[in-house]
Amino acid sequence: MPALSLVEEYAAAAEAASSMPALNALTADAVRALGFDFFGIIHHVTFGRPVAGFVGLHHYPEEWVAALRDMGSPPDPVQRAAERTGCGFRWDRMDMIVAVSARERRHMEEAARHGIGTGFTVPNHVPGEAPGSASFGLRAGRELPARHLPAAQALGAFAFEAARRLTRTGGPRWIAPVRLSDRQRDCVLLVSHGKSDTVIAQLLGLKPRTVNDHVEAAKRRYGVATRAQLVVHALLRSEIAFAEVLDGRR
> Residue 250: what pLDDT?
47
> Residue 55: what pLDDT?
83
Distance CA 184, CA 212 (A): 10
133, containing H or E segment: strand 132-139
Bridge partner list, 38 = 137
> Residue 198: what pLDDT?
96
pLDDT tens track of the chain, all 250 residues?
688 899 999 999 999 999 999 999 999 999 999 999 999 998 887 665 556 668 888 898 888 888 877 776 667 899 899 988 989 999 999 999 988 888 889 989 999 999 999 999 999 988 767 789 999 999 988 999 999 999 999 999 999 999 998 887 644 455 556 788 989 999 999 999 999 999 999 999 999 999 999 999 999 999 999 999 999 988 877 788 888 888 765 4
149-152 contacts at long range (C-beta below 8 A, 24 or more positions apart): 149/88, 149/90, 149/120, 150/3, 151/3, 151/4, 151/6, 151/7, 151/34, 152/34, 152/36, 152/88, 152/120, 152/122
> Residue 192: what pLDDT?
94
208-222 and 197-204 are packed helices; what angle lies between their axes, rounded to 10 degrees?
110
